Amino acid sequence: MIDLQHISKTYHQGRSNAVAALQPVSLKLADGGFTVVQGPSGSGKTTLLSVIGLMCRPSTGRIYVDGRETTSLSEHFAAHLRRRTFGFVFQNHNLIKGRTVLDNIMIPAYPEGEPFSRLRQRALALLDRLKLADKAGRQVTALSGGELQRVAMARAMINSPSVLIADEPTAHLDTRLADRFLEIAADLAADGMTVLAASHDPRVCNADCVGTLISMHDGRLLDNKQSMP
Amino acid sequence: MNRNRYFLDYTLVSLWRRRWKNAALIGVYSAMVFLIASILFFGDSLRRDAAVILQDTPEVVVQRMVAGRHALIPEAYAAAIGQIRGARNIRPRLWGYYYHPASQANYTLMVPADFTYADDQIKIGHGVLRTWAAARDNQLFFKDSDGQALPLTIAETFSGETDLVTADLILMSAATFRRITGTPEGFATDLVGRVRNQQETRTVAAKIVEILPDSRPILREEILRTYDTLFDWRSGYVLVAVSGAMLAFFIFAWDKATGLSAEERAEIGILKGVGWDTGDVLRIKVYEGMAVSLTAFVIGVMAAYAHVYLASAPLFDHALKGWAVLYPQFHLRPVFNGNTLGVLFFFTVMPYTLVTLLPVWRVAIADPDAVMRQLG
Amino acid sequence: MILNPAIIALVSNAWLISAVTLAAAVLGLRIIRRWDLNSTAGLQLAMERQTYLISSVLTYLLIFELLSLFLFAFTADRLHSLFIGAMCAAGSLNVNAYGYPALQLKLVNCLLCGIWLIVNHVDQQGEDYPLIRFKYRFLTVIAGLLVLESYLLTQYFRHMRADVITSCCGTLFSEDTTSVAGVMAGLPPYPAMIAFYASMALTLRTGIHFLVTGRAIRWFSGFSVVSLAAALVAIISFISVYIYQLPTHHCPFDILQHEYLYVGYPLYLCLLTAGIGGAGAGVIDRFRQHASLAAVIPRVQKKLCLGSLVAYIIFLMISGYPIVFTDYTLSGY
């Protein structure tokens, strides 16, 4: 359960180039299910996801993750909680060049310091699940767009988070691959994971598997449309 | 433990991936270490050599002062000093310099206590043999104090190993020495003696001045101290002279650490984005710096070792040896001590680490959400 | 002033370290005044990030201080030949009034840096920076002491006047010179021995008591600091004598030389580790009540206590070896 109370975010606060990316927003996200935040670019979707995912502190307001107040955590603990709770899939994948697929997937787990054999096993299992088992030793530059996205998803799941956050996951994918993404996301949601995606792609927003649709415009929430799966 | 292994592994892969860029940095860094290490090693072994040479010299040398200048000392003084309790083996010594116009060089003449050859024979160092302009039939031509030519035969030359001390040395008998230098009978250049108890050299010296007010005792420890200071001062001076180069290097290091490529910045952004905190990023960057420092340190020290001890410091023997046109050929004995490495560390690794810390930190504090905001 | 590479290194780096720490302390002062974890302003974020920088700086600082402590002792030892009457570092440190204070302050600064790092470590284990203000007030003290240390060090080397003769026209043998050496000697060995072993015994006893019951950490901490002092006195008074096997040789610096297998390094390292660990365990004890540290502090204390005990035991074994296994005795002394 993620509870946002009057969250706002202003970049470059107090300076002439201040940008109010998020007007005060209150929102509760229940555990499990597939939620999509939709809206035109610049509407504050990405900022909302960053704030929820503890990537930045909101300018005002409080966030509770499973009842725990997170806005005044030290960076070290915020990073710790973030690793355990959230997995991220970025818009342009953001894999690290010059490293293998397997390395890329394991990187978010390095600060946890678990034994290598266990970590490797988990990474291989994820690759297997996403049908990438044969690509483990490849350099990421040698992969296709769809493969890159699945590697990014595997990386997001390496720490077994309870929430998967995806920003414009289908921006660079053709219809077949977009469907493949939705399939995996629905699969994860069915396993009890909370999937939270920001998108203005109608293929995503109108997909059957989406449980909750949140619309944003100019940093405000418009309305919440509940759809019964 | 595991965490550090992961971070270290990550660092090494990063370094290897950007090996050419890093090679340039390590190259310059090693050159810096090499330069400073050479200076320090060189000073160390000169100092050590001086100590080794002086080990066998007598504890006390007594000179006579006339008009504030060093003058010949009556041999009778030796007997007087011999009366002092604790002073032993006081004997007169004959030595001096000889200027040879043809080779335009000054040579050291000396009469050893146990000169076994005949009066017209001498024992010389390699440097003499090399520089003496006209050596024929094993004979060197000297002029005595009256201007008469005096041929002397070379009976023996010193072995090459002690070149530093013996290069310009000419040993001869007392009679020949007096003839060449005009030193009258009954007088010597100075007196040397040993002191039974090392702790008492100072007391003995004080007594010598008391009985013979015109004498000046010089203690071995004082000579040693002078050498020490001289070599220390020289290497210190050279270090100050190269401080400009050091400064240039640290600016270069700062620049390298500040000017990360867009790709590296993006990589750090991703790491922060996927859940590393500032401390983790700082750690891999610090490991990177340590790996670079260690590599450069080892390369630089090994190169300096080879330069100083295998090649006899061709780059700056004139700067440090200074007095030696005559001593171009000798091999320095390796001296290796932790103190020198410590000093070296303080001149290179420590400033490097501090200089690069700030830029590294600036990179490490990248916003985690920057990765969300960058558009692909 | 004697221009020697080691001296240049020591002095220039002392000032470099001071400058960096002073800069960190200035940042720290702002943190003390403006820190507010509930604030979402840019300043708060900037200050939080600066704490990472300061932690890293202080970590290096401890390493550099430790190295320079040994380098200083070693250099002073090597310089003794420059001073008439100085037999080892004990003498060269005595050539002017700055030598010993500089060394002692260096030792204190090493201890303080170590304790600071322990406090910092504990602070980082709490989610809400519980010790942040204490930590930075402490840092300003350290910065001040480091500047003082650099000043003393500089004065010490600046006021060194070696009795120098030059190679051709030597100076006369000088009769009036600083009387030296032996100053450090002459503490009666048996009382020093009793004090040393008694404080060690108390330290071990209270340490084990803490490990078993979790109580009496402050006693342990106090005794471990006393033991550190007693051990330093013991080295001068009798441990060095046993190592050198000379009844008149009390130098605490010669044991750093290779003639004595560098035995001084492990000895002093053990002492510093043990002292820092013991003192640190005591310093953090006052923060036990902090909600976010309640679980952390006992755990850290346990580790510190164990580390400190192990270090003291190693010290006892190394220093006890020549006392037990050599024929040399202090009888008739």
Full DSSP string of A35-60: EEEE--TTSSHHHHHHHHTTSS--SE
Question: Do residues C154 and C18 share a domain?
Answer: yes
Assess if residue A212 is contained within a domain.
yes
* Best mutation target, B4, B5, B10, B274, to test chain A (most A CBs within 10 A): B274
pLDDT digits (tens, 9 = 90+) for C206-221: 999 999 998 889 999 9
Number of C-beta neighbours around residue A61 at 10 A: 19
Nearest-5° angle of CA A42, CA A47, CA A48?
Answer: 110
Q: What one-character DSSP code corresponds to residue C153?
A: H
Low-confidence ranges of chain A (pLDDT < 50): 225-229
> A58, C127: Cβ pair inside 8 Å?
no
- What stretch of H or E contains A29? strand A19-29
Give the pairing of strands B69-71 and B60-66.
Answer: antiparallel
Assess if residue A111 is contained within a domain.
no
- The chain-wide mean pLDDT, for chain B, equals 83
pLDDT at A108: 95
d(CA C261, CA C247): 19
pLDDT digits (tens, 9 = 90+) for B52-67: 777 777 788 888 888 8
Question: Do residues C241 and C137 share a domain?
Answer: no
Give the minimum alpha-carbon distance from A58 to chain C in angstroms, rounded to a whole number: 7
CA atoms within 13 A on the CB side of B356: 25
pLDDT digits (tens, 9 = 90+) for B115-149: 888 888 888 887 787 777 666 678 888 888 888 88
> C128, A72: Cβ pair inside 8 Å?
yes
- Using only the alpha carbons of chain A, give its radius of gyration: 17
Assess if residue A124 is contained within a domain.
no
Assess if residue C236 is contained within a domain.
yes
pLDDT digits (tens, 9 = 90+) for B147-181: 888 888 888 887 765 555 667 788 899 999 999 98
Question: Do residues B133 and B232 share a domain?
Answer: no
Q: Which two tokens mark B213?
A: 């007010």
Question: Do residues B17 and B80 share a domain?
Answer: no
Residues of B in contact with C81 (CB under 8 A): 221, 224-225, 228
Tell me phi and psi for residue A67, to 5 degrees.
85, -5
Assess if residue B193 is contained within a domain.
no
Assess if residue C171 is contained within a domain.
no
In chain B, what is the greatest distance between 2 CA atoms, to the nearest angstrom?
100
d(CA A227, CA B135): 113
Beta-carbon contacts below 8 Å between A and B:
92
Name the H helices within C235-295. 240-244, 264-285
Residue C177 pLDDT grade (very low, low, confident, very high; cuts 50, 70, 90) = very low
Residue that terminates a domain, selected from B135, B167, B188? B188
Question: Do residues B147 and B179 share a domain?
Answer: yes
User: Who has greater pLDDT, C19 or C254?
Assistant: C19
pLDDT at C200: 95
Number of domains in chain A: 1
What DSSP letter does each residue of B141-199 carry, written as one string?
Answer: EEE-TTS-EEEEEEEEE--GGGHHHHTTEEE--HHHHHHHH-PPTTEESEEEEEESSGG
Q: Give strand pairing partners of B97.
A: B108
Of B43, B206, B343, the CB nearest to C9: B343
Residue C182 pLDDT grade (very low, low, confident, very high; cuts 50, 70, 90) = very low
Name the H helices within chain A. 45-52, 75-85, 101-106, 116-129, 145-157, 175-190, 202-205
User: Who has greater pLDDT, B319 or B57?
Assistant: B57
- Checking ipTM against 0.90, whether it exceeds it is yes
Question: Do residues B254 and B297 share a domain?
Answer: yes
What DSSP letter does each residue of B26-58 carry, written as one string?
Answer: HHHHHHHHHHHHHHHHHHHHHHHHHHHHHHTS-
d(CA A59, CA A19): 12
Question: Do residues C123 and C244 share a domain?
Answer: no
pLDDT digits (tens, 9 = 90+) for C64-120: 988 899 889 888 877 776 766 666 677 777 777 888 899 999 999 999 999 999 999
Assess if residue C58 is contained within a domain.
yes
Q: Is it the case that residue B3 has pLDDT exceeding 80?
A: yes
Question: Do residues B170 and B82 share a domain?
Answer: yes
Residues of B in contact with C53 (CB under 8 A): 357-358, 361
d(CA A107, CA A41): 30
Chain A contacts to C (CB-CB under 8 A)? 13-14, 57-60, 71-77
Residues of C in contact with B370 (CB under 8 A): none
Question: Do residues B103 and B42 share a domain?
Answer: no
Domain limits for position B232? 2-54+228-373
Which residue in chain A is spatially nearest to C132 when comparing CA positions?
A74
pLDDT at C162: 61
* Best mutation target, C40, C52, C292, to test chain A (most A CBs within 10 A): C40
Residue that terminates a domain, selected from B188, B207, B242? B188
Q: Is it the case that residue B317 has pLDDT exceeding 80?
A: no
Nearest-5° angle of CA B240, CA B40, CA C70?
Answer: 95
Distances (CA, A) of A140 to A129, A145, A187, B52: 18, 10, 25, 63
pLDDT at C1: 61
Assess if residue A166 is contained within a domain.
yes
Question: Do residues C238 and C314 share a domain?
Answer: yes
Assess if residue A45 is contained within a domain.
yes
d(CA B17, CA B19): 6
Assess if residue A188 is contained within a domain.
yes
Question: Do residues C87 and C215 share a domain?
Answer: no
Beta-carbon contacts below 8 Å between A and C:
27
- Chain B partners (3+ C-beta pairs within 8 A): A, C
Beta-carbon contacts below 8 Å between B and C:
130
Question: Do residues C69 and C123 share a domain?
Answer: yes
> B372, A55: Cβ pair inside 8 Å?
yes
Assess if residue B223 is contained within a domain.
no
Residues of A in contact with B366 (CB under 8 A): none
* Best mutation target, A94, A117, A167, to test chain B (most B CBs within 10 A): A94
pLDDT at C166: 31
Residue that terminates a domain, selected from C109, C143, C158? C158
Interface contact B2, partner A, CB < 8 A:
yes
Number of domains in chain B: 2
Number of domains in chain C: 2
Domain limits for position A16? 2-95+161-226
Whether residue B264 contacts residue B21, with contact meaning beta carbons closer than 8 Å, is answered with: no
Residues of B in contact with A198 (CB under 8 A): none
Within 8 A by CB and 6+ apart from C212, the residues are none
Q: What percent of chain C has pLDDT over 90?
A: 46
Interface contact C4, partner B, CB < 8 A:
yes
Question: Do residues B240 and B302 share a domain?
Answer: yes
Question: How far is C-alpha A6 from the chain's CA centre?
Answer: 21
Within 8 A by CB and 6+ apart from C72, the residues are C10, C102, C103, C106, C153
Q: Residue C110's closest CA among C290, C294, C276?
A: C276
Assess if residue A86 is contained within a domain.
yes
What's B129's domain CATH number? 2.40.40
Q: What is the mean pLDDT of residues C130-140?
A: 93
Question: Do residues B365 and B240 share a domain?
Answer: yes
Question: Do residues C250 and C320 share a domain?
Answer: yes
Assess if residue B196 is contained within a domain.
no
Question: Do residues C51 and C149 share a domain?
Answer: yes
Question: Do residues B244 and B149 share a domain?
Answer: no
Question: Do residues B38 and B85 share a domain?
Answer: no
Residues of C in contact with A71 (CB under 8 A): 38, 40
Assess if residue A136 is contained within a domain.
no
Q: Which residue has the tokens 């939270």?
A: A196
Residue that terminates a domain, selected from C106, C138, C158? C158
Domain limits for position C256? 189-325
Whether residue C111 contacts residue C120, with contact meaning beta carbons closer than 8 Å, is answered with: no
Q: What is the mean pLDDT of residues B19-24?
A: 90
